[in-house]
A and B are shown apart, each in its own frame.
Chain A
Amino acid sequence: MTDQRLQSIVSTLLITGVVLSAAVVLIGGVCHLVRHGSEPADYRSFQAVPESYRSLGGVIHAAGSFDYRAVIQLGLLLLIATPVARVALSLVAFTLERDYTYVAITAVVLAVLIYSLMGQR
């Protein structure tokens, strides 16, 4: 794979991730407002969001039962996954190029991202 080809694929991946996640967030947001628009919005005092919105499994489960707050969260998870997918793609590209120094570097970054996403508290 040439560097230019990689650049083009990375670019497409990033734009797709952003557009897709924004669409999911928008749909979830509009549906949520239609249903809960007249409820009060108060974010003055902090209260951690419920457990079901904090993990991929919980979010998918809640979104599946038409909890629109979870649909928004699913869109946000897609967004967070976009740069992670970009790093994973770079790992494949560097492997194909047999650039093992960069395979190692990319693997470290990917490991840090996965550690963060897999629910370290």
Chain B
Amino acid sequence: MTNLEFTPLVFGISAIAGWLGALTGLGGGVVVTPALTVLLGVDIRYAIGASLVSVIATSSGAAASYIREGFTNIRIGMFLEIATTLGALLGAHLATRAPTSVLSIIFGLVLLHASWQSSRGGPPDVAAEVPDPLATRFKLDGAYPTDQGPRAYHVSHVKSGLGLMFGAGTLSGLLGIGSGALKVIAMDQLMRIPFKVSTTTSNFMIGVTAAASAGIYLHRGYVEPVLAMPVMLGVLAGSTLGARQLAGARVRVLRWIFAIVVAVMAVEMIVSGVRGTT
């Protein structure tokens, strides 16, 4: 295939990945890498480099509008970014040492989780009753806008939240994904932060987390500009479109389609990892 044929193909695949990622809230990065490796046979290291860059683009673009809506808690984001960026450094260092077959298997497992998450939808909110002393000290408690005016919330389990965020950062650096799903679980389920605040703050943190490992990938020569170009532009275009349609009704059906597609790719990646054909 020539560059002139390959580039539009990659752009199209990335646009679909970004669109589905935005509609289901799982992010495009997690689908782009398996799509490139499974469908086009791209080496997983090139795919990870390109996907990581696209993750920065989508999260920054989306964060710009979420921040204006007033749901994003910048202090929680900043505080937890200590853990996610350090994790991302570790992940990026591990990625350059781990065999590609291991990367492929880990990626497959993360995809299986994403698939399960997608089929389930968002869990109900559980509010934190008692504030964590650490949350008070670091001024993490906040308020978000509702129709009846601002509603205050507390943050709990700050220490374990930091631990889980370190893990999310490591996975992000290792696989070149945003790790949005894990970040939301840490904030929403563990730290008891309201769902909408969790998702927007997670998105806010993704760009910084990805930038921490992107530097290392760049210096190691994993970011191939000619491949990253259609991936970044495609995911950005697709996710921008998807974010505008978010209110649409057929999200449930899409979630299921997404879950199945992701599960198939997960199995594909695990099998090729085990066989050592990546």
Seen from chain A, the residues whose Cβ lies within 8 Å of a Cβ on chain B are: 3, 6-8, 10-12, 14-15, 17-18, 21-22, 25-26, 28-29, 32-33, 36-41, 43-46, 48-51, 53-55, 69-70, 72-73, 76-77, 79-84, 86-87, 90, 99, 101-102, 105-106, 108-109, 112-113, 115-121
Residues of B within 8 A of A51 (CB): 221
Q: Which residue of B lies closest to A8 (CB)?
A: B68
Q: B22-30, B58-66, B186-194, B252-260: which lies at the A interface?
A: B58-66
Closest B residue to A109 by CB, please name it: B81
Q: 8 Å CB contacts to A: which residues of B138-166?
A: 138-139
Which A residues are CB-close (under 8 A) to B210?
Answer: 83
Residues A82 and B221 in contact, CB atoms below 8 Å apart: no
Chain A residues in 8 Å Cβ range of B70: 7
Q: Interface code B158-181, partner A: CB below 8 Å = 1, 0 otherwise?
A: 000000000000000000000000
Tell me whether A83 and B225 are in contact (CB under 8 A).
Answer: no
**Would B225 and A38 count as touching, CB distance under 8 A?**
no
The reply to whether the CB of B67 lies closer than 8 angstroms to some CB of chain A is yes
B247 sits at the interface (CB 8 A): no
Q: Which residues of B contact A90 (CB under 8 A)?
A: 74, 78
- Inter-chain CA distance A8–B208, complex, in Å, is 18
| Chain A, interface SS category | helix
Asked whether B67 lies within 8 Å of A109 as measured between CB atoms, the reply is no
How many angstroms between the C-alpha atoms of A33 and B10 in the bound complex?
Answer: 14
The distance from the CB of B194 to the nearest CB of chain A, in whole angstroms, is: 18
* A99 CA to B60 CA, complexed, in Å: 25
Asked if B43 is an interface residue, CB under 8 A from chain A, the answer is yes
In the complex, A47 Cα to B270 Cα: how many Å? 23
Scan residues 70-106 of chain B and give those whose CB is less than 8 A from a CB of chain A: 70, 72, 74-75, 78-79, 81-82, 85-86, 88-89, 92, 100
Instruction: Please choose the segment from B12-20, B108-116, B117-125, B226-234 that sits at the chain A interface, where 4 or more of its residues have CB less than 8 A away.
Output: B226-234
A79 touching B229, Cβ below 8 Å: no
How far does the alpha carbon of A35 sit from the alpha carbon of B68 in the complex, in Å?
42
- The residue among B81, B208, B215 with the most chain A CB atoms within 10 A of its own CB is B215
Task: Find out whether the CB atom of A45 lies under 8 angstroms from the CB atom of B43.
Answer: yes
Is B57 part of the binding interface, using a Cβ–Cβ cutoff of 8 Å? yes
Contacts of B221 on A, CB cut-off 8 Å?
A: 48-51, 53-54
Q: Is the CB of B223 within 8 A of A82?
A: no
- Residue tally, chain B, CB below 8 Å to A: 65
Q: Cβ of A33: which chain B residues have Cβ within 8 Å of it?
A: 3-4, 7
User: Bound state CA distance, A108 and B86, in angstroms?
Assistant: 10
Q: How far is the CB of B3 from chain A (nearest CB, A)?
A: 5
- Please name all residues of chain A whose beta carbon is closer than 8 Å to the beta carbon of B89 when the two chains form the complex: 112, 115-116
CA distance A84 to B86 in the complex (A): 15
CA distance A116 to B86 in the complex (A): 10
**B274 CB within 8 Å of chain A:** no
Please name all residues of chain B whose beta carbon is closer than 8 Å to the beta carbon of A37 when the two chains form the complex: 2-4
Most buried by A among B6, B40, B89, B228: B228
- The 27 listed contacts between A and B (C-beta, < 8 Å) are A7-B67, A11-B65, A14-B64, A17-B60, A22-B236, A28-B225, A33-B7, A37-B2, A37-B4, A41-B6, A41-B7, A45-B43, A48-B222, A53-B223, A72-B226, A72-B228, A73-B223, A76-B53, A77-B218, A79-B53, A80-B215, A83-B56, A84-B211, A105-B79, A108-B82, A112-B85, A115-B89
- Per a CB cutoff under 8 Å, which of A3, A36, A105 touches B3? A36
Contacts of B60 in A (CB 8 A): 14-15, 17-18, 79, 82-83, 86
Contact assessment for B2 and A40 in the assembled complex, using a CB-CB cutoff below 8 Å:
yes
